[in-house]
Chains A and B, each alone.
Chain A
C-alpha cells in the first residue's frame, strides 16, 4: 500500500493538500486510540511530504549556512524592528519607548472572558529591549578582526580579559551568525595551532570559556567531518577526557545503579594494605591503653603478631555489610563490595566472603597461582563467595 493509498488522495506535490488529507484521516485514527494505525498514517504522511519537498526543490531555500561561511560579508536577512507610538490604553505608567513587531500582524482575540481581575491575553510587549541591534555584517567584521588580533599573539590570547569582546556582542546570539563564527574561530584555532608547530596556542581557561559559548565538544562529530579526526583531537586535547569529578558519597544505596565497573587491581591491593595498617595501629593502641580491661585480656594475650587479625576480619565483615559497603581503605579508593546483581551483602554473605578470603590467604601458595590465571581481575574468594568489588 503506497502512502497515497493510506492518505486516500491522488499523488500530489502540494504539501497543503497532503496536510489536509492527513488531518482528515488523523481525526479517525487518533494516536491514543489506534497507535498502530496512527504510526502507519504518520509514516505515510512524512513520506508524502518528503516526496513533495524533493519535487519542489527547484528554487532552494534562500539562506544556507555554508554560503555564509565562505562569504563573511554575505548580507544576512535581518528583520528591522520599528518603534511605535505607545498604546495609551495598556501602558500609561510606562514612560519607556515601546517596540512592537510589525510581523506577523495576526490579531488575537482574548479567549477567556470569564476570569475577572486578570488579563490573560494582552499585548503586553511594552518593553525597552535596547534595540536596534548591531548590524550583523558590521559585527562580523568587528569580531573576526578582534579574534585574529587576539590569536596572532599567544600571550595576548591567554590573557583573561582579551576575549571579553565576545561578551558584549549581541549578534553572537543569532543562530546563523553564531554557527558561522564558531566555524570561523575553530578554523583560526586550527590554523594558529599549526603555525605554532602543532602546539595548542590556548591554555585551558580561555579554551573553556570559548567552549562554554560555542560548545565545540558537544558538536565534535560535526567538526570532525570538516577538519578530520586528528585535527579536532589536537584542538580539543585541552579538554579532560571525561568529567569524573564526582563528589564522594560515603554511603551507597542498597542497590547499585548505573554500570558496574570492576575496581582497579592496584587500588584494591593498596586499600587492603591501608586497612591492615589501620587495624594494626588500632590494636597497638588498644593493647597499650586498655590492657587492664579484663575481658580483653584473653584476646590481647594472643600478642602483637596475631592478635590484630581477628580484629581485621571482624572489621571487614561488619563494614562491608553496612551502608558503607566498604572498608575504610576501599572508601578512600572509591570501591565497594556488592553482589553480582549490585545489591548490598548481608552479614552472612559478608561472613562467607571473609572466611573464604581467610582460607585463600592461608593457602596463598596455591591461590596466588589461581588468581594469576583469572584474567578478569576478580579474585578467587570474590568469585567463590559470589561478590564483586566495583567502583562506587
Chain B
C-alpha cells in the first residue's frame, strides 16, 4: 500500500511518495512537480485545476479562484462561475488532481495520504484539511506540520548529528517558524510558532497598494481582468527583484503614465511592516526554546516566498549571517511529507527515525474574570495545554462552579496566548450538567488531549455523578455535520472533469489566451492566428502532428512571454 505525501499549499501544491528508500516527487500531467492551487470552471461547466486554471485567472477571473487555503476552516463561500464552493471542497479538487497524477505515476490506486498543514493552523483549519482529503476519497493518516516536514527532509539529508536548526517557512499565505534538533535518528521539534495570515500574497498586496498609489488609481474602479493583469505583472516584478537590483514596471494598465522604478531598498522599505511582523514569531520561538540565536546551527528557508531578496536580507540582518537556501524551497515540504508517508508505511529504511513534534499554541478554556464585574474585558483565558508542549499530550484540570445551584457548566474552548479570551481563537464549546450545590462545591474535570495530527479532543468528567462527556468539540465554527459532508460529496461527484490526457494542449491554449489578454496590437493578431491554427491541428486529431504543433507553440509562447513582461 502506498501512502501519498501531499503539500497542499496556498499557491502551489506538490506530492511525493516513499519509494526505494527515498522520497520521490511525482510529476503532474504537464510534467512539472508543482501544481498551482487554482481551480476554475470552463465554458462547458467542466472543472479545471492547476496550470490551466492559473492561466485562466487572467482571461476568466470570474470563473477561476485561487488562494482559497486562506478560507480553510471558515464557512466562507467562494464563487466560481455559476457554482459556489467552500475552501475544503476546492482543496479537495486540487487533491483529486494530485491523486490522479500519483495513481498514473505508481500504477496503483491510492487511498491513504499524509497532508502537510502550516504549523500554526488551528484545530478548525486542520479538521477542514482532513475533510478535504476525505472528500477526495483519501484517508488522511497524518497531518504533518509544514516546517516539521521540511525539517525531516533537511535533517535526514544533512545527517548532521546534534545540529540545532531553525526552519523559516514563508509560503504563499502562512508563515511558520520551528526550531529543530536532529540527533541519532531523532528529529525533535523544540518550539514552533507562526502567523496564519502572513505570506507571499501579503507582500504582493502591499506592493500593489504602493503601485496604485503611484499611478493614482483607486483599484475598486478597475475591472476584474485589469486587476488580475496588474497583480500578475507585479508578482512577476516581485520575483524579478530577487535577481535584479532595480526593476522598471511599465504598461500594466492604461492609466499608468510613467514607468515605476523600484530598487531593492525601496521594496524593503515598502515591506517594512511585514518584515517586522516576521520577526515576532521568530523571537517567540527562540524564547520558548530557550535558545540564543547564536546557538542556532543553520537557518533553513522553506517556501517560495523565501526567495524574495527582502526576506533573505531580513534573515541575514536578524542572525547576522547568511541563511541556508540549499533545498528547493517549493518542494521540500512535499518531500518531507513523502518521508512521513514512508514512516507511516513502516518502511524498513526508516526504522531508526523517530519524529517528535510540539503543539505550537496554548489551548485552554474560559474562566470567570472576577476583577471585571462590568463585563468589559470578558472572560479570562486559562491555558490547559501550554504552547510548545510535546505531543501527544493529555492534561486534566479541575474547574469549579461559580454560582449557587448552578446546574450546567459551559466549557468554551479557546486557543491563543492572550490573557483575555476575546483576543483568542474560539474553537467550540461543550456543555455538561452538574448537580445543584453551593458555588465552588461542584467540580468538573476537563481533559484536553492533543494528538500527533494536531487535533484536539476534550473530555469532561463530573466526579460527583461520575458522568463522562466524551465528545470532541461541538459547535465549532465552520464545522460540518455528517449530512453536510454527504452533501458536499454528492456535489463534488456531480462535477464534470476534463479528461487528463488532453490537459497539456488545453493548458497551451489557456496560456496563449492569457498572453492575448495582456498584449496589444500586432502581437494580439499573431496570437490569434497561432490559436486558430492550433485549433485546426487539434481538430485533425493526428497525435503526431498535435505533438509537433504543441511543441512549436510552447516555444513561441515562451518567447513571447519573455518579451512581454518588461518591455
- Asked if B157 and A111 make an inter-chain contact with CB atoms under 8 angstroms apart, the answer reads yes
- Asked if B477 and A257 make an inter-chain contact with CB atoms under 8 angstroms apart, the answer reads yes
Q: Does A27 contact B (CB under 8 A)?
A: yes
Q: Does B279 contact A (CB under 8 A)?
A: yes
A342 partner residues in chain B, CB cutoff 8 A: 475
The stretch from A116-124, A226-234, A316-324, A358-366 touching chain B is: A116-124
A63 partner residues in chain B, CB cutoff 8 A: 292, 294
- Asked if A121 and B327 make an inter-chain contact with CB atoms under 8 angstroms apart, the answer reads yes
Per-position binary interface string of chain B over residues 12-55, scored 1 when its CB falls under 8 Å from any chain A CB and 0 otherwise: 00000000001111000000010000000000000000000000
Which positions 302-332 of chain B face chain A at CB distance < 8 Å?
309, 312-314, 316-318, 320-328, 331
Q: Does A30 contact B (CB under 8 A)?
A: yes
> Which residue of the partner chain B has the closest CB to A26?
B354
Report the minimum CB–CB distance from A166 to chain B (whole Å): 9
Q: Which of B242, B320, B327 meets A120, CB within 8 Å?
A: B327
Per-position binary interface string of chain B over residues 412-435, scored 1 when its CB falls under 8 Å from any chain A CB and 0 otherwise: 100000000111001000000000
A79 partner residues in chain B, CB cutoff 8 A: 320-321
Q: Does B379 contact A (CB under 8 A)?
A: yes
- Asked if A127 and B312 make an inter-chain contact with CB atoms under 8 angstroms apart, the answer reads yes
Q: Which of A19, A121, A257 meets B183, CB within 8 Å?
A: A19
- Alpha-carbon distance A167/B275, docked complex (angstroms): 11
Main SS at interface, chain B: mixed
> Which residue of the partner chain B has the closest CB to A78?
B320
Per-position binary interface string of chain A over residues 307-323, scored 1 when its CB falls under 8 Å from any chain B CB and 0 otherwise: 00000000000000000
- Asked if B326 and A122 make an inter-chain contact with CB atoms under 8 angstroms apart, the answer reads yes
The stretch from A6-14, A32-40, A273-281, A285-293 touching chain B is: A32-40
Q: Does B390 contact A (CB under 8 A)?
A: yes
B264 partner residues in chain A, CB cutoff 8 A: 130
Q: A122-B326, A257-B426 are in contact. Are A106 and B313 (CB under 8 A)?
A: no
Which positions 367-424 of chain B face chain A at CB distance < 8 Å?
375-376, 378-379, 390-394, 412, 421-423
- Asked if A19 and B184 make an inter-chain contact with CB atoms under 8 angstroms apart, the answer reads yes
> Which residue of the partner chain A has the closest CB to B298?
A104
Report the minimum CB–CB distance from B484 to chain A (whole Å): 12
> Which residue of the partner chain A has the closest CB to B158?
A108
- Asked if A81 and B321 make an inter-chain contact with CB atoms under 8 angstroms apart, the answer reads yes
Report the minimum CB–CB distance from B263 to chain A (whole Å): 10
- Asked if A261 and B326 make an inter-chain contact with CB atoms under 8 angstroms apart, the answer reads no
- Asked if A23 and B328 make an inter-chain contact with CB atoms under 8 angstroms apart, the answer reads no
Q: A118-B33, A118-B328, A212-B276 are in contact. Are A61 and B354 (CB under 8 A)?
A: no
Report the minimum CB–CB distance from A137 to chain B (whole Å): 13
Per-position binary interface string of chain B over residues 240-270, scored 1 when its CB falls under 8 Å from any chain A CB and 0 otherwise: 0011010000000000000000001000010
Per-position binary interface string of chain A over residues 71-104, scored 1 when its CB falls under 8 Å from any chain B CB and 0 otherwise: 0000001110100000000000010100111011
- Asked if B75 and A253 make an inter-chain contact with CB atoms under 8 angstroms apart, the answer reads yes
Report the minimum CB–CB distance from B317 to chain A (whole Å): 4
Number of interface residues of A (CB under 8 A): 72
Q: Does A153 contact B (CB under 8 A)?
A: no
- Asked if B322 and A125 make an inter-chain contact with CB atoms under 8 angstroms apart, the answer reads yes
B376 partner residues in chain A, CB cutoff 8 A: 241
Number of interface residues of B (CB under 8 A): 76
Which positions 487-513 of chain B face chain A at CB distance < 8 Å?
none
Q: A31-B452, A255-B475 are in contact. Are A121 and B157 (CB under 8 A)?
A: yes
Q: Does A368 contact B (CB under 8 A)?
A: no
- Asked if A31 and B356 make an inter-chain contact with CB atoms under 8 angstroms apart, the answer reads yes
Q: Which of B282, B335, B392 meets A38, CB within 8 Å?
A: B392
> Which residue of the partner chain A has the closest CB to B276?
A213
Report the minimum CB–CB distance from A178 to chain B (whole Å): 7
A218 partner residues in chain B, CB cutoff 8 A: 280
> Which residue of the partner chain B has the closest CB to A214?
B276
- Alpha-carbon distance A30/B423, docked complex (angstroms): 36
The stretch from A140-148, A169-177, A347-355 touching chain B is: A169-177
- Alpha-carbon distance A121/B297, docked complex (angstroms): 19
Q: A35-B392, A121-B157, A173-B314 are in contact. Are A178 and B184 (CB under 8 A)?
A: no
A100 partner residues in chain B, CB cutoff 8 A: 322
Per-position binary interface string of chain B over residues 334-360, scored 1 when its CB falls under 8 Å from any chain A CB and 0 otherwise: 010000000000000001101110000
- Alpha-carbon distance A176/B293, docked complex (angstroms): 9
- Alpha-carbon distance A221/B320, docked complex (angstroms): 29
Q: Does A20 contact B (CB under 8 A)?
A: yes
Report the minimum CB–CB distance from B196 to chain A (whole Å): 16
- Alpha-carbon distance A106/B158, docked complex (angstroms): 8
- Alpha-carbon distance A173/B327, docked complex (angstroms): 25
Q: Does B94 contact A (CB under 8 A)?
A: no
Q: Does A247 contact B (CB under 8 A)?
A: no
Q: Does B219 contact A (CB under 8 A)?
A: no
- Asked if A112 and B312 make an inter-chain contact with CB atoms under 8 angstroms apart, the answer reads no
A121 partner residues in chain B, CB cutoff 8 A: 157, 326-328
- Asked if B314 and A111 make an inter-chain contact with CB atoms under 8 angstroms apart, the answer reads no
> Which residue of the partner chain A has the closest CB to B25?
A115
A16 partner residues in chain B, CB cutoff 8 A: 162
Report the minimum CB–CB distance from B197 to chain A (whole Å): 15
- Asked if A174 and B320 make an inter-chain contact with CB atoms under 8 angstroms apart, the answer reads yes
- Alpha-carbon distance A108/B153, docked complex (angstroms): 12
> Which residue of the partner chain B has the closest CB to A253?
B75
A253 partner residues in chain B, CB cutoff 8 A: 75, 477
A122 partner residues in chain B, CB cutoff 8 A: 326
> Which residue of the partner chain A has the closest CB to B284?
A218
Q: A111-B22, A122-B326 are in contact. Are A129 and B313 (CB under 8 A)?
A: yes
B351 partner residues in chain A, CB cutoff 8 A: 27
A262 partner residues in chain B, CB cutoff 8 A: 375
For the complex with contacts A38-B356, A42-B356, 8 further pairs of A-B residues with Cβ separation under 8 Å are: A19-B162, A35-B451, A78-B320, A125-B326, A215-B280, A242-B422, A257-B475, A262-B375
Between A and B, 23 residue pairs with Cβ closer than 8 Å are: A20-B183, A26-B354, A27-B185, A27-B354, A35-B451, A77-B294, A78-B320, A100-B322, A108-B158, A112-B22, A115-B25, A118-B33, A120-B327, A122-B326, A127-B312, A129-B309, A129-B312, A167-B269, A171-B317, A175-B318, A213-B276, A215-B280, A261-B378
Q: Which 7 A-B pairs have the closest CB atoms?
A: A23-B184, A173-B317, A101-B322, A35-B392, A111-B157, A257-B477, A170-B317
Residues of A bordering B, CB below 8 Å: 16, 19-20, 22-24, 26-27, 30-32, 35, 38-39, 42, 61, 63, 77-79, 81, 94, 96, 99-101, 103-104, 106, 108-109, 111-112, 114-115, 118-125, 127-131, 133, 167, 170-171, 173-176, 178-179, 212-213, 215, 218, 241-242, 253, 255, 257-259, 261-262, 342
